[in-house]
């Protein structure tokens, strides 16, 4: 069976990534996607913040119809020349096509690129499919663009390019329990270390309980505060607090999945708990109208 290769890291699996993957699926039913266990940036000592967990990114890839995903250890191929790496792919998979985005690079000192793959088609008997830039207005869609949107609190813009919602997952931990004293009990989780950080603020979200591996409960409307809780002065580290609308129950120790829909305001300090309570009611009303 003829094999089409797709090359890339695919953090978030956004619209442009989908175009690259689809080009291979249209060429052959047998697609092998070559990616890495973690971002190559980590190998070079950079601290990487992912748009989605690798688990969620790989799930999105599988839903597109890719059955074969190979996660390489970047350290094992980091010192290969572009020619050596390409020959490794050819000898291992014997592809009839190779698909990448227009700016994909590989090999020592990033010596492999679109031009290199195009120039070696005849030598190694494959068709090279190079996807041109996919744009959103005047912006080229990229993982960097989406990270910037998230860091600016423009979650709805990021979600439109991801075509799924930005996700935070965690286990509910004990907090100071201030929320329940003012009528708004919260489920608190620690923000995942490896995920790109949103600015402190209040967000409309949907929440699901993770029941068991691969099975998620029904989404529930909720409101999330991410930050330092400046009104109550009891937080040393920032925390994610989620108030589930129309819900009453004990969630301590449960695993939850929070899909972030939109930021409605920055985090702010109120002069009293009563003022905070009034603002939360307004926030809930705004989220209820989404």
Task: Confirm whether 157 is domain-assigned.
Answer: no
- Residue 218: give the domain boundaries: 165-288
Q: Are residues 7 and 124 part of one domain?
A: yes
With beta carbons less than 8 A apart as the criterion, state whether 229 and 175 touch. Answer: no
Q: Are residues 181 and 65 part of one domain?
A: no
Q: Are residues 257 and 194 part of one domain?
A: yes
Q: Mapping DSSP to helix (H, G, I), strand (E, B) and coil, where does residue 245 land?
A: coil
What's the CATH code of the domain at 57? 3.40.50.620
Q: For residues 140 and 81, what is the distance between their CA atoms, to the nearest angstrom?
A: 29
Q: For residues 227 and 239, what is the distance between their CA atoms, to the nearest angstrom?
A: 6
Q: Are residues 230 and 102 part of one domain?
A: no
Q: Are residues 115 and 197 part of one domain?
A: no
Q: Report angle CA 198, 203, 204 to the nearest 5 degrees.
A: 135
Q: Are residues 181 and 86 part of one domain?
A: no
What's the CATH code of the domain at 174? 2.40.30.30
Q: For residues 156 and 150, what is the distance between their CA atoms, to the nearest angstrom?
A: 9
Task: Confirm whether 158 is domain-assigned.
Answer: no
Can you give the pLDDT of all 290 residues of the chain as single tens digits? 789 999 999 999 999 999 999 999 999 989 999 999 999 888 888 888 999 999 999 999 999 999 999 999 999 899 999 999 999 999 999 999 999 999 999 999 899 999 999 999 999 999 999 999 999 999 999 999 999 999 999 999 999 999 999 999 999 998 766 666 666 888 999 999 999 999 999 999 999 988 765 556 678 899 999 999 888 766 678 999 999 998 877 788 899 999 999 999 999 999 888 999 999 999 999 998 87
Task: Confirm whether 21 is domain-assigned.
Answer: yes
Q: For residues 281 and 258, what is the distance between their CA atoms, to the nearest angstrom?
A: 20
Q: Are residues 129 and 39 part of one domain?
A: yes
Task: Confirm whether 151 is domain-assigned.
Answer: no
Residue 48 falls in the annotated catalytic set: no
Task: Confirm whether 147 is domain-assigned.
Answer: no
- The catalytically annotated residue of 241, 274, 286, 289 is 241
Q: Are residues 265 and 232 part of one domain?
A: yes
Q: For residues 17 and 214, what is the distance between their CA atoms, to the nearest angstrom?
A: 24
Q: Are residues 170 and 85 part of one domain?
A: no
Q: Are residues 222 and 128 part of one domain?
A: no
Task: Confirm whether 145 is domain-assigned.
Answer: no
Which alpha helices (H) appear in the chain, and where do they start and end?
15-27, 40-43, 54-63, 74-77, 82-93, 114-119, 121-124, 143-151, 155-162, 178-181, 273-288
Number of domains in the chain: 2
Task: Confirm whether 99 is domain-assigned.
Answer: yes
Q: Are residues 206 and 171 part of one domain?
A: yes
Task: Confirm whether 82 is domain-assigned.
Answer: yes
Q: Are residues 179 and 104 part of one domain?
A: no
């Amino acid at each position: 069976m003829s094999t089409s290769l797709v090359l890339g890291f695919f953090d978030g699996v956004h619209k442009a990534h989908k175009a690259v993957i689809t080009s291979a699926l249209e060429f052959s039913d047998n697609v092998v996607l070559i990616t890495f266990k973690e971002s190559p940036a980590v190998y070079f000592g950079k601290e990487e913040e992912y748009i989605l967990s690798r688990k969620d990114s790989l799930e999105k890839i599988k839903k597109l119809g890719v059955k074969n995903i190979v996660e390489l250890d970047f350290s094992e191929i980091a010192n290969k020349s572009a020619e050596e790496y390409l020959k490794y792919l050819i000898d291992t998979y014997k592809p009839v096509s190779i698909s990448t985005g227009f700016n994909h690079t590989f090999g020592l000192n990033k010596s492999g690129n679109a031009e290199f793959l195009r120039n070696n088609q005849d030598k190694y008997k494959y068709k090279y499919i190079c996807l041109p830039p996919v744009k959103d207005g005047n912006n080229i869609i990229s993982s960097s663009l989406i990270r910037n949107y998230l860091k600016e609190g423009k979650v709805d813009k990021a979600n439109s390019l991801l075509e799924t919602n930005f996700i935070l997952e965690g286990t509910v931990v004990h907090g100071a329990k201030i929320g329940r004293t003012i009528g708004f009990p919260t489920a608190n989780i620690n923000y995942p270390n490896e995920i790109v950080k949103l600015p402190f603020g209040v967000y409309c979200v949907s929440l699901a309980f993770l029941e068991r591996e691969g099975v998620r409960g029904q989404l529930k409307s909720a409101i999330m505060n991410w930050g330092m809780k400046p009104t109550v002065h009891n937080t040393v580290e920032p925390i994610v607090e989620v108030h589930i609308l129309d819900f009453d129950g004990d969630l301590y120790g449960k695993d939850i999945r929070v899909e972030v829909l939109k930021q409605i305001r920055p985090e702010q300090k109120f002069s009293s708990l009563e003022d905070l309570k009034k603002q939360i009611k307004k926030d809930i009303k705004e989220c209820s109208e989404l």
